[in-house]
Structure 1
Amino acid sequence: MITHTLSARELAQNLSHAKRLATEGPVFITDRGKPAFALLRIEDFHALSGQQQDMSLLEMMQSMPSTQGIDYEAPRLIGELREPVY
């Protein structure tokens, strides 16, 4: 597996380049010269975390330790949506 390293500035200036690099392997993002973040393909994230790939975004967020104890239920839409929501 190939790994790449980009500075936070390089990431901000060329996100599409970082995404292309992530197809080859993890991209480490540095902040002031020190690794701070990692950019992965979602498939690689699922493989590393052991999470099921068919989880919804809400289920994924609920499984994160930092969100434990937070209850959220999305409001239900009543009637028809007649105008676009922005």
Structure 2
Amino acid sequence: MAITIISNGEFNRDTCAAKKAAHQGPVIITDRGKPAHVLLSIEEYHKLTGSQASIVELLAMPSTLEIKFEAERAVITPRNVYLS
């Protein structure tokens, strides 16, 4: 995993390069020479936070054919309504 360090000015001039570098590892963005922000790919972010991708994110992925999803049947029980 490569760590890339860029200045805030470089980030503003070439955001695309920073996003590409984030696929290789974290990108540290400095402000006046001091680390201020870190840019991560969404995969690395999920690894760090331990969060699961939502069903919407999973369905948007190219590998959605491999996902097995079986929804549980909803049970709806009618009840009386009193309008008094």
TM-score if structure 2 supplies the norm length? 0.63
Q: Percent identity?
A: 45
CA RMSD of aligned residues (A): 1.3
For residue 44 of structure 2, what is the amino acid of its counterpart?
Answer: D
SS at match of 2:5: strand
Alignment match, 1:44: 44
**Cα 1:26–1:55 shift into 2, 3 Å:** farther
For residue 6 of structure 1, what is the amino acid of its counterpart?
Answer: I
User: Structure 1 stretches (4+) deviating beyond 3 angstroms?
Assistant: none
Q: Which runs of 5+ in 2 are unaligned?
A: 57-84
Q: Deviations over 1:13-68 (max 9, x none)?
A: 00001011111000000001000100000010000011111177xxxxxxxxxxxx
**Cα 1:49–1:55 shift into 2, 3 Å:** farther
Q: Which has the larger radius of gyration?
A: 2
Q: How many pairs were matched up?
A: 56
CA distance in 2, matches of 1:55, 1:28: 30
TM-score if structure 1 supplies the norm length? 0.62
Q: Does the alignment pair 1:16 with 2:16?
A: yes
